[in-house]
Structures are given as C-alpha cells and as structure tokens.
Amino acid sequence: MVVLTSSARKSNTRKPRGVSVNEYEASLVIKSGAELLSAASSDPRSEEGYAAVKANISESLNRIAEALTNFEAGSGVRNRSTGWVQDLRRVADDLVDRQG
C-alpha cells in the first residue's frame, strides 16, 4: 500500500512538463507499479505481451539509474550509488538483449 504524506519535503528541481510530483511521490509511483507488476505476473496470462513488458521494465530501470545519478550529483557524497546505477543499466540491457 502506498500512502502520500504531506510531510514530504518540497523539491526545487526542474520538472518535466505535465509532471507535478516531487521525488518522494514519484518513488511511491514506482513502488506501486512494482507491486502491481508483481501481482499481475502471478496471473496465468502473464505471457501476454512479455516482450513489451521487458522493454518497459528496461526503460524504467534506465530512468531509475538516471535519477540515482541526478540525486548523486546533488548530494555532498559522490559515487555512493555508482555500483547500483551500473547494475541497473546492466539488467536493463540484459532485458532488451534477451527479447529475441
């Protein structure tokens, strides 16, 4: 279950057009999406559109890696999540490469 709270700190970062959530709220959307995907994968119809699912997950992982890089650039401690970013990109590439 995802709960949005008003205690989330406001973001001063520039947001893409049409998006009006902060980083915390966006992370809750990712969490909810992962929960929905997990529940849907237990459905016997989970093979439907599997190639598209893998492509979407791959793109999502690349964007999460980009977000981690952006957070890292704004923090005082650099290279803390470099390994995670590399791992996320590697998994994203593997998902796309194995679609054949």
The encoded tokens of residue 41 equal 């994968």
Confidence of residue 100 (pLDDT cuts 50, 70, 90): low
Q: Which residue has the higher pLDDT, 77 or 42?
A: 42
pTM score above 0.85: no
Q: What is the mean pLDDT of the chain?
A: 79
Rounded (10°) CA dihedral 79, 83, 86, 88: -120
State the pLDDT at residue 6. Answer: 46
